[in-house]
A and B are shown apart, each in its own frame.
Chain A
């Protein structure tokens, strides 16, 4: 059983699952849960891109 993912897709899957749990556990109402989950997902996804460019800039 092997599972092939690119690094970015792996990061996005991680972000999706973690955001789902954060949204459900950290807020009370379904609307707030969805908003917070989406907020966390965007932060994860943008954070990965920013960190990637930062590492590229450090290397060059």
Chain B
């Protein structure tokens, strides 16, 4: 006897399991969430979550720059510098804009500038967490 659930009428969306309920692929959502903080959530209709994530990451990134924190460039030197670059790179477009505008030269004469450097790194890492969360929503692992 056939399982009634398996014979139930499938939704049109079920035919293409690679798309989110909004019709966008999970990979696109993840990339969008990485490039622009919160955009992955906004594209899936989670506007409040997306805006809060955007505010949190933007605030950390720009507060870090305001504290004269350092933005790492690609390097193969010291391990901590490499990890700093990896963290910064997580901020997506914010990182590229900061490099393009030559922001984040750092200032070794201010103690708070070191906090700023950490702010910028953590902003990137938090953005990666947000992008992965957007991916989880897209694949149905999370509401």
Contact = CB atoms under 8 A, between A and B. Distances in A.
Contacts of A58: none
B67 A25 contact: no
Nearest to B46: A24
B contact residues, range:
20 to 34
B115 A20 contact: no
Contacts of A57: none
A1 interface: yes
Contacts of B52: 20, 24
A18 B59 contact: no
Main secondary structure of the interface of A (DSSP, over half): helix
Interface string B94-138: 000000000000000001100110110011001001101100000
Nearest to B115: A10
Interface of B: 49, 52-53, 55-57, 59-60, 63, 65-68, 111-112, 115-116, 118-119, 122-123, 126, 129-130, 132-133, 142-143
Closest 9 CB pairs of A and B: A3-B66, A25-B133, A17-B56, A20-B56, A21-B126, A17-B60, A28-B143, A10-B115, A24-B49
